[in-house]
Amino acid sequence: MRQLTAPQLSEWLADPARQKPVLLDVREPWEFDVCRIPAAKQMPMRSVPARYPELKRDDEIVIVCHHGARSYQVAMFLEHQGFTNVHNLYGGLAAWAQQVDPTMPTY
């Protein structure tokens, strides 16, 4: 699994020459309601074992949570299921709010 910093993800999303990743937000619904990266797909961590077949194995997937711990665990799970293009957002949305979008609400 690859670790991706918030600035690296921001550059990726802003690059028109690069295909956008699937942003998989594994936080709880109330957290998703507070803040999120636009275009993120919500799939709470507890639902991933049942819902991961919704994901395409060949897509680039960036997994997002609040601080990066839950997303790391989900990334490891997906790799064990045969996904090879999995990235963990290091520091999660807390890092995104600090380093990329200081206007993002935090909790």
Q: Are 95 and 89 in contact (CB under 8 A)?
A: yes
- The answer to whether position 107 is within a domain reads no
**pLDDT at residue 4 is higher than 90:** yes
Burial of 18 (0-12, 13-18, 19+ CB in 10 A): exposed
Whole-number percent of the chain with pLDDT over 70: 100
- The answer to whether position 106 is within a domain reads no
State mean pLDDT over 49-77.
97
**pLDDT at residue 67 is higher than 90:** yes
Choosing from 43, 61, 65, 75, which is the catalytic residue?
65
Full-model pTM: 0.95
**pLDDT at residue 1 is higher than 90:** no
65 is catalytic: yes
CATH number at residue 56: 3.40.250.10
- The answer to whether position 19 is within a domain reads yes
Domain that holds residue 47: 2-99
